[in-house]
Structure 1
Amino acid sequence: MFLNRWSYTLAGCLLSQLCMASTLHIDPRGESFYQQAVPYLQQANSKLEAVPANTPTASAEEKKRSWALIDEAGELLKPAITLLEQAAALDHPVAQYRLGLIYVMLYPSEVIKEKACPLFEKSLAHGLAPPALEISSWCVAYSGTPLYQTALQATETSMPIYEKYFPQPVVRLECKREQPEGLAMQWGSSRDFQAEIYRLQGNSNRAQRSEYYQKALDINDCYGVKRRMGDRQ
């Protein structure tokens, strides 16, 4: 599979413990931009949570209220996007992830591959676990590479570095039964995302599948793994 120059550089970086350690440094300016964006993201999420799940079949009046909430969330996301873009340009892994998630919400699949996938890949390369899930859904060309598998393995040692940034949202968690309200995403703790990483590793690694699946079950009784194991019985 074709890998561009950036991918080759990143592959070498991932194989070097010294390089991995350096990628975990977060620029203070990037951190400042990210933290300024967080209140806007939280307020936008609250608006989206208030949008009823039955909006498509609701009455005209209820649809009007829902669209008003969606518009309000969109206005809150505008300053958040500007701040996240500034943080992402300074290589802030969490900002890269959150900006990619917004692109997933706003754009069709072909644009997601162009705009969001590079952000997710860079974020995961820094050891942040959540983008691994979005990559598995949207960035298929990358998710099938050894580089992706190496990045998945690296998240386990990097997880404590990012503990203060959790919980984090994601489109869908396979290891949690709780469903999001309205148009909001699901939120997971660092342990939830570690279970998801083990699930992803088990899905792609037949030789160690049972071992990875058991680790996911041990963390939060991952129902996605239990369902998959049940389907094979």
Structure 2
Amino acid sequence: MFSQRWRYTLVGCLLSPLCAASAFQIDPKADSLYQQAAPYLQKANSRFEAVTAITPETSAEEKQRSLDIAAEAGEMLKPAIPLLEQAAALDHPVAQYRLGLIYVLLAPSEAIREKACPLFERSLGHGFAPPALEIASFCAAYTDTPEYKSALQVVENSMPLYERYFPQPASVLECKPETPPGLGMQWGSSRDYQAEIYRLQGDGNRARRAEYYRKALDLNDCYRAKKRLAIMAG
């Protein structure tokens, strides 16, 4: 009887997204390719941060300087792209995410859904938290699917696998109010991203909204969750 119950438990685990995500292992060759790409990504980000905001008051000279720096940063990313493409093809979730971010930065807006969204979806499917935020911004159709909601649920148990890859950048971290310099992205720790996952779960689950927002608040004092809880209380 115990053996039969154990078999049922094992089969149930094998069929669940939680078990699949926790069993995932990163391919060593893929990780080597990602690590080769990482210095290019870091250098490019440093240059993007040096780009100054262009306003109606910005001089022509300063505008050109910013455009030149942005172009230079884009060139710095190019050596990383084939390395990330190879790692992504070997199902490296972090490489898939960072390659998707490059498409968000450099590809025409109409190409983001075709190029970046599939990469973000595959990465999140392996329990890597950061692409959930880009999906919410650029891949809205996927956020209405059961697969997206299931993927958010398994992130917490997958965090230990990815701890060494943090911090990671994102277009917007809604739990952190500070604005990055230039065209740089916001960077978050694993705790920051787990807070973002709770926030997203709260956004999509009215029945448990307050519970998820409080979890986000407890993790990193998520200012967005704090504001929404205040609205709910008022």
Q: C-alpha separation between the residues in 2 aligned to 1:160 and 1:134?
A: 21
Gaps of 5+ in 2: 1-12
Report the more deviating stretch, 209-218 or 103-112: 103-112
Alignment pair present for 1:224 and 2:224: yes
Q: Which residue of 1 aligns with 2:175?
A: 175
> In 2 relative to 1, CA 36–230 (structure 1 residues): closer, same or farther, beyond 3 Å?
same
Alignment pair present for 1:19 and 2:31: no
Q: Which residue of 2 aligns with 1:92?
A: 92
Identity %: 67
| 1:102-152 deviation line (CA, Å, top 9, x unaligned) | 111122333111111100000001100000011111111111111111100
> In 2 relative to 1, CA 61–44 (structure 1 residues): closer, same or farther, beyond 3 Å?
same
Partner SS state of residue 79, structure 2: helix
Distance apart, 1:82 and its partner CA: 1.3
Larger radius of gyration: 2
Q: C-alpha separation between the residues in 1 aligned to 2:87 and 2:195?
A: 28
Distance apart, 1:13 and its partner CA: 7.2
Alignment pair present for 1:211 and 2:227: no
1:14/1:151 contact within 8 Å kept: no
Gaps of 5+ in 1: 1-11
What amino acid sits opposite 1:169 in the alignment?
P
> In 2 relative to 1, CA 60–28 (structure 1 residues): closer, same or farther, beyond 3 Å?
same
The number of equivalent residue pairs is 221
> In 2 relative to 1, CA 197–60 (structure 1 residues): closer, same or farther, beyond 3 Å?
same
1:6-85 counterparts in 2 under 5 A? 15-22=16-23, 24-54=24-54, 57-85=57-85
Q: Which residue of 2 aligns with 1:5?
A: none
2:100/2:116 contact within 8 Å kept: yes
Q: C-alpha separation between the residues in 2 aligned to 1:15 and 1:56?
A: 54
Distance apart, 1:53 and its partner CA: 2.1
Distance apart, 1:20 and its partner CA: 2.6
> In 2 relative to 1, CA 21–156 (structure 1 residues): closer, same or farther, beyond 3 Å?
closer
Distance apart, 1:226 and its partner CA: 1.7
Q: C-alpha separation between the residues in 2 aligned to 1:200 and 1:20?
A: 19
Q: C-alpha separation between the residues in 2 aligned to 1:54 and 1:107?
A: 20
1:14/1:125 contact within 8 Å kept: no
> In 2 relative to 1, CA 98–32 (structure 1 residues): closer, same or farther, beyond 3 Å?
same
Q: C-alpha separation between the residues in 2 aligned to 1:214 and 1:99?
A: 32
Q: C-alpha separation between the residues in 1 aligned to 2:16 and 2:144?
A: 18
Q: C-alpha separation between the residues in 1 aligned to 2:187 and 2:35?
A: 18
Q: Which residue of 1 aligns with 2:130?
A: 130
RMSD: 1.7
> In 2 relative to 1, CA 153–92 (structure 1 residues): closer, same or farther, beyond 3 Å?
same
Q: C-alpha separation between the residues in 2 aligned to 1:158 and 1:204?
A: 21
Alignment pair present for 1:159 and 2:180: no
Partner SS state of residue 113, structure 2: helix
Distance apart, 1:18 and its partner CA: 4.5
Distance apart, 1:55 and its partner CA: 5.8
Report the more deviating stretch, 132-141 or 182-191: 132-141
TM-score by length of 1: 0.90
